Amino acid sequence: MKLTILGCYAATPRTLTNPTSQVLEIKNHLFLIDCGEGTQVQLRKQRIKFSRINHIFISHLHGDHFFGLPGLVSTCRLLGRDKELNIYGPKGIKEAITLLLKLGDSWTNYPLRFHELSSKESMLILEDEKITVETIPLDHRVYTNGFLFKEKLGERKLNVEATRHYEIDKAFFNNIKKGKDIVTEMGEIISNSELSFDPPKPKSYAFCSDTMYNPKIISLIKEVDGLYHEATFLESEAHLAKKTKHSTAKEAAHIAKEASVGKLILGHYSTRYTSIELFKKEALEVFEKVELADDGKIFEF
Amino acid sequence: MKLTILGCYAATPRTLTNPTSQVLEIKNHLFLIDCGEGTQVQLRKQRIKFSRINHIFISHLHGDHFFGLPGLVSTCRLLGRDKELNIYGPKGIKEAITLLLKLGDSWTNYPLRFHELSSKESMLILEDEKITVETIPLDHRVYTNGFLFKEKLGERKLNVEATRHYEIDKAFFNNIKKGKDIVTEMGEIISNSELSFDPPKPKSYAFCSDTMYNPKIISLIKEVDGLYHEATFLESEAHLAKKTKHSTAKEAAHIAKEASVGKLILGHYSTRYTSIELFKKEALEVFEKVELADDGKIFEF
């Protein structure tokens, strides 16, 4: 699982910082999470092909999280896209994008499929053989979801030595990987656990932005390998965090600690601070595995 | 008059080039013309204060000319703007911006005034003591206007030497500047032409993008000091220009020549070309005063 931060600053695009957008590579998918203004340019800088993105997840309809989307949708048309593009986001997102394309008389010539969200409960919104994506209801000024990306438990790994020892025909290998016991020609049962190893632990990643401190999410994100949690403010501005329904670095760290996550990645920094190192310092007082998101930075889980 | 090009490339924002946006400084106004994605960052790079922009002119509702507007409007709110912001653009622009702000529950706390355009005739859309702004109906795939910015004829310049010679009291200076003759205490009439000089010739600038070759605009832009005319293609792609209702560099030069403009500035280059110098070369075969727009470039008239 590879996470590329395209933008991780709050509010407005600036000369050297970008509003929220990131790309998660998971089991051959390239998922785009949020799409602030400038996302197209950031994708190009990272040499990520637009055509590889088939699913876009939008947390909420504040501009710094989706004003790059109309342009991206239009550019995909200009690039000759023909594959379906799926957009998951709050109710209203379809009307917004549709209106902008209609005004320009430039409807896409590829299928654009909207999955509008309005539930206040966590929902499974995408599933295939290898992954699931669920919503994480957040608590912000407008209706907002985080997203939980999980690999499914893979096939068991063949114990090649054991299969040789028992002289098992290759024809049985698929069944062994699926966890089945084997019955030999002599009628002897060989337990699957002798013939295979446990598959690697599936990885998981949770994106939680924007939100105020919300302990209800802890059960949903328990033990994820990576948690991106917004930290718009430091504790010295806790009153602003409360007023604008954002979190402080310390609050993000408390969530990470209670959820026993593998790694906390902080982001969505207010542009009032001159150094983001202060966010790490504050979070480290509560939880030890803290990293700072920054535009262009890559995390691997 | 000072023109700052923020972006002058067609279609999509890229790592090193920006879609259409420019700022015209004229008689203490700072007018923003078009607002492609990335305009905010380009304004910051040029150190142009958002608060100095009170009027934004949008030619048409294709994304590369206005997808930066929702973000700019939102940022003005975050920056604490309280002055009115005027937006001139095709009918539909109000609905689009209003919907996006409504979805984010983030209406501006400053007055946002839309001036929606739908006339196919040239119209006076802004006037004050020193300038006028008129629309230039263009011919593109969707309803599009160019904009003609004109200084008004200023006051006459006082001939200081002559006023001394005739011993004219300062109290009369304002009337002299307004072109009036002076009657001395002895009843003698001194002609204004003896006491003042002609004011400087008022400057004018025309923005014409996007449009196919359209000779109807020539009478409107006759003898402007600066003409920005789109040249999306070279003559080798004239068939594409015709199909997409854009112009070639040669066609832009023909318009400039027929209108006897002071300077032709080419822009809105298709990103298919690796060098924009070819546009200049092609236009120079028809008209001698050709310049190339480029992001960050400044022109003075």
Q: Which residue has the tokens 């727009």?
A: B293
Residues of B in contact with A61 (CB under 8 A): 100, 103-104
- Residue from A81, A94, A100, A271 to probe the interface with B (highest B Cβ count within 10 Å): A100
Is-catalytic flag, B34?
no
- Among A61, A63, A105, beta carbon nearest to B71: A63
Sign of CA dihedral A60, A61, A67, A68: positive
Closest CA to A290 of A276, A271, A273: A276
* Residue A294 confidence (pLDDT): 98
Q: Each residue's pLDDT tens digit in chain A (301 positions)?
A: 999 999 999 999 999 999 999 999 999 999 999 999 999 999 999 999 999 999 999 999 999 999 999 999 999 999 999 999 999 999 999 999 999 999 998 888 899 999 999 999 999 999 999 999 999 999 999 999 999 999 999 999 999 999 999 999 999 999 999 999 999 888 889 999 999 999 999 999 999 999 999 999 999 999 999 999 999 999 999 999 999 999 999 999 999 999 999 999 999 999 999 999 999 999 999 999 999 999 999 999 9
Average pLDDT of the residues in B237-244: 98
Q: What are the residues of chain A with a beta carbon less than 8 Å away from any beta carbon of chain B? A: 11-15, 37-38, 40-41, 44-45, 60-64, 67-68, 70-71, 74-75, 78, 90, 92-93, 95-96, 99-100, 103-106, 141-142
pLDDT score, position A186: 85
Predicted ipTM beyond 0.85? yes
**What is the reported pLDDT for B185?**
82
Helix (H) or strand (E) holding B7: strand B2-7
Structure confidence at residue B107 (pLDDT): 86
Give the tokens for residue B299: 């022109």
Quick count: other Cβ atoms within 10 Å of Cβ B223? Answer: 11
Phi (first) and psi of residue B96, to 5 degrees? -65, -55
- Specify the residue for token string 């200023």: B154
HEC profile for A248-281? EHHHHHHHHHHCCCCCEEEECECCCCCCCHHHHH
Q: Assess whether pLDDT exceeds 90 at residue B240.
A: yes
Q: Is residue B290's pLDDT more than 90? A: yes
Give Cα separations from B149 to A18, A216, A253, B8 (angstroms): 34, 57, 55, 19
Spatial distance between the Cα atoms of A73 and A76, rounded to a whole number of angstroms: 5
Token digits for B156? 């006459």
Residue intervals in chain B for CATH 3.60.15.10:
2-154+200-300
The Cα–Cα gap between A144 and A148 comes to: 13
CATH 2.40.50.100 fits domain B2-154+200-300 = no
Q: What is the pLDDT of residue B147?
A: 98
Beta bridge partners of B53: B30
Q: For residue B145, which of B155, B130, B135, B156 has the smallest C-alpha distance? A: B135
**DSSP three-state, residue B196:** strand
| Token pair belonging to A263 | 């790694």
Parallel, antiparallel, or unpaired for β B85-90 and B53-57?
parallel
Residue B292 reports pLDDT greater than 90: yes
Q: What integer is the mean pLDDT of B19-30?
A: 97
Reported as a pLDDT band with limits 50, 70 and 90, residue B212 is very high
Q: Encoding tokens for residue A37?
A: 């203004």
- Give percent of chain B with pLDDT exceeding 70: 100
